[in-house]
Chains A and B, each alone.
Chain A
């Protein structure tokens, strides 16, 4: 079997809220799982179980208290839990992408440029990046008349689709998906399913959170129940 692209082992996460008398929220404990090339691992469990926190720890956006998060960058294995900021940024550029349902709007940059620039970040040439951006925006039903406009004024649904296009445009071997399909209509959900299947065929490893059962059933190779990582919730 091929080596995992990401492998978590003994990862724990808690938050200490100093502004609330040091209240401690224990989110997850002893998180251990791995995702291999071409595999889609889905985190399942109720809201508040710590699914998003796990994706954010893999991405280096949240720290972790204990454990290791091994991400494979070519021949090298990097432990995100201990890596220098610039090493994490290099992983984000070349190895791991993160898609949530929210678009961070950059003023004055058009939808097409946002998506093309994102594709170019992972090393695609200018022309290829452009073509891919057009294809994704077309597939995701973002009307062509909007492509040259900054998405700041788009509807919520249009912004979300631009965001998905941006997140799926680059070629990176590891993809973290945090409910990208939440509140999409059935037609666009089907498009996202197809795009995720393309990624898997291309050998991308995916760790995802999906609200909709139909999407989850179609893309998941394995569902990991967050109950396995539960802490004793008593504060």
Chain B
């Protein structure tokens, strides 16, 4: 068999499912579903009203079709919108968490027991529609940092939620953002008060478990004046034959001199080698640099999902604000990805950097889509974009669509794009020097991605490197 053809046979090691009693909303979507979810979460009336408005708006919208991805129409009535492990009514400590769940996260490499916690990383573990537990809560509280599940924030920090939720991604923004606003289940909420540098990495780990269930989480992170936080999101799902929808919304807000560093290691189940099953990952992520001299940095390593469709973006409103986007996206087998970023320059002396590294193997198909927009008032805007594609074998594809809308002549925009190919010739060359094909791919891929990996927090950079090798494993003999 051809070297490259063998490149696509690897096992997804997070593909197990947890056998746990679930409480589900009735299948399908209606106002009743929305009310059911809201009631389950003991939400205040204003939250329910918001959901209903979003739901009604969603009904008027059409499924977007402009992305360069192909999949059968989703039947929104064939999905469960709420699934929660049946548990004790209220969890006060980890002792009350179902051991089955602790075990699940342990298997995923995320120990939640206090004594085994990753040093210096606080974790919020979200299982299907609910947050299971948040670690290090007390330690964070001392600094005034709020890190809790979104549901808890709706109840306990309603003023902040009312003020900020939907302020960056309104429910009218797009089809899936509207859907999320109507049925969102859980997610994480972070608030870093003025002048506080969050003493540890914050991390949310999302796990889809239940069958035929969508996951619709929301994340909202606010860094107040002079605050700093580094946040990491990870995700996995069991191997299932049917496709599952994941439609999340992430909103970031930085006030003056604040900085948020948001890293994602996305490893949803990608489907089998023939494209059966896998997660549809349709996500809206956007941050606003509201205050002057603030900074938002997105780093993403996208290895999973059958289809990925997302554009983590920055609105650079404050003067001298900085937006960054570092991305590695892998599509192997039948995976498809349409991903990129939007950098919207509004303030003066705003700066953005885009580094996108696409890797396609197997029959994977990938599109980079990026927009750099400089408004009239954005004096002295700067952008540097670097969009590289790496093709492994000759059955995969890569496309690059950079868009520029420049309304201020003082803008300095640089764009570079390259395409490289690893074929049998490259692999044989490496082999003839004593390097096996698998090692060769990992050597090439890691070299290629290093500009992005160096942006990840250390432990996660190592994980990402490993993950990349695994997702490309089997693609050579």
Do A and B assemble together?
Answer: no
Q: Which B residues lie at the A interface, using CB under 8 A?
A: none
Q: Which A residues lie at the B interface, using CB under 8 A?
A: none
